A and B are shown apart, each in its own frame.
Chain A
Amino acid sequence: MHGRVKVKSTAQQEEEKRKEREKKLKIYVAARDACFSKRKEGICDDEALQITQQLLSSNPDFATLWNYRREILMHLETVRDEDEVQKIYQAELSFLESCLKVNPKSYGSWHHRGWVSTRLPRPDWARELGLCDRCLSLDDRNFHCWDYRRMVVKMSGVPVDQELAFTDRLIGSNFSNYSSWHYRSTLLPLLHPESPEPHSPCREPRRASSPPSPQTHSHRVCEEQLLKEYELVQNAFFTDPNDQSAWFYYRWLLGRAEREEMISCVYVSRDEERVAVAFSRPVNAQSVGLLLVLDGQPQRVEWRSVHPRFKHSPVWICDLPPGTISDVTNEHNLTVHWTEKHTHRDCALYTGDAHESWCRDSATDQELFRSELSVEKTSVLQSELQSCNQLQELEPLNKWCLLTIILLMRALDPLGYEKETLAHFQTLKEVDSMRSAYYSDLCSKFMIENTILKMEYAEVRVFSISDKNVTTLCHLDQLLLVTHINLSSNQLQRLPPQFAMLQCLEVLEADNNSIENLEGVFHLPKLEEVHLKNNKISTLADLQPLASCPKLKRLDLRGNPVTQTANIESELTELLPSVTDLQL
């Protein structure tokens, strides 16, 4: 149409752009080669500084050039006086600023800025802090900037309270910000440390013999501040219960007690002349300095984990030199020292026909399974549970809320809330079906914990958890002393290597599962009966581990695919000569 502004066509623009790019590339390559050759010759002059600047301003991710630049700058430091150096570095900082505008997430630029800032004779930290704030206001999740900011804060000694106010500001403008919440979690213990006297004596380990290790509660925050934080984070998850950052911070606030490191159990068996030791966490007994003293005599023993797969394990066993405890008329005193942690545990094998002896803390004593959430006071947990229940009423299908309620209930009273917990798990699996397997596993874990607690209260060595939809096994180190385990009618697919920690096991009932792997039924010295009716064991090789159990007499394999194999009976007799009662 007449009088209309004519505009270049797209093809024309493309062509122009292509030419432009070609030209740029030529210049770039030439400059790069010039740079490399200069570096090779070890030239550290202003020209080199200039060329690298040109290159880096178009491509700030060229690490070699940054290195070269640092070489030049360090050289200049030696030949120029302080004022000049200051000027050079200041120019460097403003150059870096322009690089960061090109790419605010350039590793090279941020690293170089950190380097320059520490070399600067008279650094202006306030300016750096301002730069970080500007950057974070543009993108509050730029972790490069967060890192650099932490360095600036450290170097310039910004007061902690000021930093906390900074996180307040960021969270206020958008609370979906893991960096800010996390930063808060590192600042709070510094600014409002927990008062030195333990505020919840009932939660302290009952054994007074060993003082709590220094890191046990060092990350805790004083109660007054904690209550404020609960309020803050509740505001966040009531505002948007689907935002996970607040929930994660909440879980941190509720606390995660670290278990005291110790030897939790020593077991000695006279018949097998064997000692089994359980630790509070998986260790490598061969390297932690374990010392076994029998009747005042240090013994040279060979520690081995319960399964060759484990380099680290909570349970370790060793054979005593033959004959050392066979004398039934003498009492034998055994001490295992964990020299690295300055802790030990004694165990006495009394006279008479006692075949075995042990010394341990029961799981209930240690509040073992509550440590996941909270070293917090019951009253606080109770009121937090109330708020969460309130939210759950409004948002009955919110998975974060449900999960937090479950955790709070477990921290408060795992057995008392068992029914509600199971119901909530059911809802969780429905509303978040993508993670239903995770919830099943978590639920299994909690059910196992509850069963262990019940077993401890009953003071028996029988562990029975049948028909509870258990999908996975855990806490098997707690079952070191169990002689009879009933896992029937669950959804187990395997007896994992950890199962070998059941060193006292005599009877294994695992009918009506989906077990196809018996890896963990390995070197169990007392195992006599194995019930595996209606499982999914399909080959003879799957039964191989059973051959390592010397006392196995009864084996029930009815309803397994393996029973369809030709010559199965004779093959089995050959594989398991000790078995006298085989059901196929």
Chain B
Amino acid sequence: MRSGLAESVVAAAFSRVGQRVLHLDRRSYYAANWASFTFNALLTWIQEHHEESQPEEVQDWSSLLEEGEELIYLLNRDSASITNLQVFCYADRCHGFHPIIQASQTEGEEPTTAAGQSQSEPTRKKISFAHLVKEGRRFNIDLVSKLMYSRGSLVDLLIKSNVSRYAEFKNVTRILTYRGGKVEQVPCSRADVFASRQLSVVEKRKLMRFLTSCVEETEEQRAYNGRPYLEFLCDQQLGDNLQHFLLHSIAMVTEDTPTEEGLASTRHFLRSLGRYGNTPFLFPVYGLGEIPQCFCRMCAVFGGIYCLRHSVSCLLLDKDTNRCKAVIDSRGQRISCSHFVVEDGFIGADWKREATPTRFLSRAVLITDRSILPSDSDQQVSMVTVPPIAAGCPAVKMVELCPSTMTCMPGTYLVHLTCQSAGSAYHDLSPVVTRMFRTPESHDQESSPTLLWCLYFNMADGSGLEGEGHDLPNNVYLCSGPDAGLGHEHAVRQAQAIFQKILPDEEFCPPAPNPEDIVYDGENNSSSTPGDGETLEGEKEKEETLEGEVEKEEKVEGEVEKEEKMEGEVEKEE
């Protein structure tokens, strides 16, 4: 239930080893809080969240109860994971206040005349809100902002399972940091260190030596266990420059993080370096929302059934065995099941063992008109670390995406900001935004990118969820929503744990076979080559229809057909 990353990986893993999977999501889109939206769809999403405050009425399905069963109602409040939505549009007001209607006529034609702009710089075209809406399909705006570590568990899983064939990836091209009011490039790979102009040759040597030496755990490092990583770095006599880079941009930890944690995170960064490029990170073309969808597709290819805009309203509990025998969907259909995986947002607090009160992430999504650090290439994908700008402020992780990642329209950049919430997203992130971007509120920042549009919201942090110890039927499993980490380790770990609990003897996501190696019923083994060719084509067709199905479901027309299928499926299940 719900198609977040962990749920989708679980679905693919089960489907792959021959289990029957029914995957439901009450939304009209895949990937839940991991989704990507076009600009227009994002506006709709925002609209829906503003309207969805009133609680939905709970239908009583107790009439469907059988002997020895009990109902557990699920909550329909997945929207509660998103709060404090705030939208600001500057697109038509950057240089004088044009009403939106007027701007739609000018359509980004007028050149700017901002004072202080250098002559050599090509005149900036103003992009209007109407323009953003018109080109809205070019955007793929992620609700979460994460990157894939090149040697992280998600990349390993994508490769191992062959799911990677459903998506394309781009390298994050550079690591930046905000320091002393300036954006600087962080030299982290050998080539970066070589090319860096900020470092002296001695610093280069020290940095390279530190990076090579910390791959192996040493006695010296162990002596710092429990003491801050910053202290360890200080004692390495690296100098301020390198210390900043290592702490904030490479380890991406805070000043009081213990040394062992800082080193572990540094090693994770370094291990991923150089596998696909000069930074440790990959980003999926068309946005992170692609990843859960890829796993859903894998699930569908191996026979999983997908149903969007469809949810489970309650579970039927067998009192004797404390197992969930079946579920009742939102239309009152009873669907039997042997295991039930659900996002934790649907489960009432009284069933859960909440270790800590729900934490939140602060998110901001910005559309800007140019890169935060212009360079030779205008197609840079940048990871930017912004250390706390004042004491008590959170450290902000920022990802700037260029149009070639297919997440924003040409001429714009899409910027994601994420931090642990202290207050509302606006409260946490707007100081960083006004400092680094040009908004009507900011001053003297002619050289900064102009902010065209921005969205702030808070999202529940899924990292607090405990895997065990809930007061749930013993065949019901919980997945959390997105966590605060930069990578995807949390969700993959969760999915793997669920899979192994249910099928401890099965391989988790074994490689999908090549189409030509699949044996179909009725095909004899000694078939001649032309026969092979036919089945090959047949298989392709089959896959296409399956994939087509997945896509179709997003369309309204697919609805009727899908429901029919759905009913058929339910019959089979019974």
List A residues at the B interface (Cβ < 8 Å): 1-8, 12-13, 16, 20, 172-175, 234-236, 238-241, 387, 390-391, 394-395
Contact = CB atoms under 8 A, between A and B. Distances in A.
B195 interface: yes
B208 A240 contact: yes
A27 B206 CA distance: 61
The 4 A-B residue pairs with the shortest CB-CB distance in the complex, in nearest-first order: A4-B18, A238-B201, A6-B519, A3-B18
Contact of B205 (A4, A175, A391): A391
Contact of B20 (A3, A172, A238): A3
Given A6-B518, A173-B191, A236-B194, A394 B209 contact: yes
Contacts of A390: 201-202
Given A235-B195, A239-B190, 11 more contacts: A1-B17, A2-B18, A6-B518, A6-B520, A8-B517, A20-B529, A175-B194, A235-B201, A390-B201, A394-B209, A395-B205
A1 B506 CA distance: 11
Contacts of B20: 3
A194 to B, nearest CB: 26
B190 A240 contact: yes
Contacts of A395: 205, 209
B437 interface: no
Contact of B194 (A4, A5, A20, A239): A239
B18 A387 contact: no
A394 B191 contact: no
B204 interface: yes
B204 A238 contact: yes
B207 to A, nearest CB: 9
Given A1-B18, A5-B302, A8-B517, A174 B206 contact: no
B10 interface: no
Contacts of B193: 239
A24 to B, nearest CB: 12
Contacts of B302: 5
Contacts of A16: 532
B194 A13 contact: no
B525 interface: yes
A172 B191 contact: yes
B305 to A, nearest CB: 13
B18 A172 contact: no
Contacts of B18: 1-5
Interface of B: 17-20, 190-191, 193-195, 201-202, 204-206, 208-209, 278, 302-303, 513, 517-520, 525, 529, 532
A239 B517 contact: no
Contacts of A3: 18-20, 303
A387 B208 contact: no
Contacts of B525: 8, 12
B516 to A, nearest CB: 8
A287 to B, nearest CB: 50
7 contacts: A3-B18, A5-B513, A6-B518, A6-B520, A20-B529, A175-B190, A239-B190
B126 to A, nearest CB: 35
Contacts of B201: 234-235, 238, 387, 390-391
Contacts of A235: 194-195, 201, 204
B244 to A, nearest CB: 19
A114 B20 CA distance: 59
Contacts of A175: 190-191, 194
B206 A7 contact: no
A198 B532 CA distance: 77
Nearest to A10: B517
B466 to A, nearest CB: 32
A16 B278 CA distance: 42
Contacts of A173: 191, 278
A20 B528 CA distance: 11
Nearest to A6: B519
Contacts of B202: 238, 390, 394
Nearest to B209: A394
B251 to A, nearest CB: 21
A339 to B, nearest CB: 52
A3 B15 CA distance: 9
B526 to A, nearest CB: 9
B239 to A, nearest CB: 13
B546 to A, nearest CB: 13
A174 B193 CA distance: 11
A21 to B, nearest CB: 13
Nearest to A172: B195
Nearest to A19: B529
A395 B213 CA distance: 13
A391 B204 CA distance: 11
A250 to B, nearest CB: 13
A394 B204 CA distance: 11
Contacts of A391: 201, 205
Nearest to A174: B191
Contacts of B278: 173
B439 to A, nearest CB: 36
A291 B201 CA distance: 57
Contacts of A239: 190, 193-194, 204-205, 208
A394 B194 contact: no
Most buried by B among A3, A241, A387: A3
Contacts of B519: 6-8
Nearest to B207: A239
A235 B525 CA distance: 62
Nearest to A1: B18
A394 B190 CA distance: 18
A240 B202 CA distance: 11
Given A1-B17, A235-B194, A7 B208 contact: no
A7 B204 contact: no
Nearest to B528: A19
B191 A7 contact: no
A13 B18 CA distance: 22
Nearest to B206: A394
B17 A4 contact: yes
Nearest to A241: B205
A1 B532 CA distance: 25
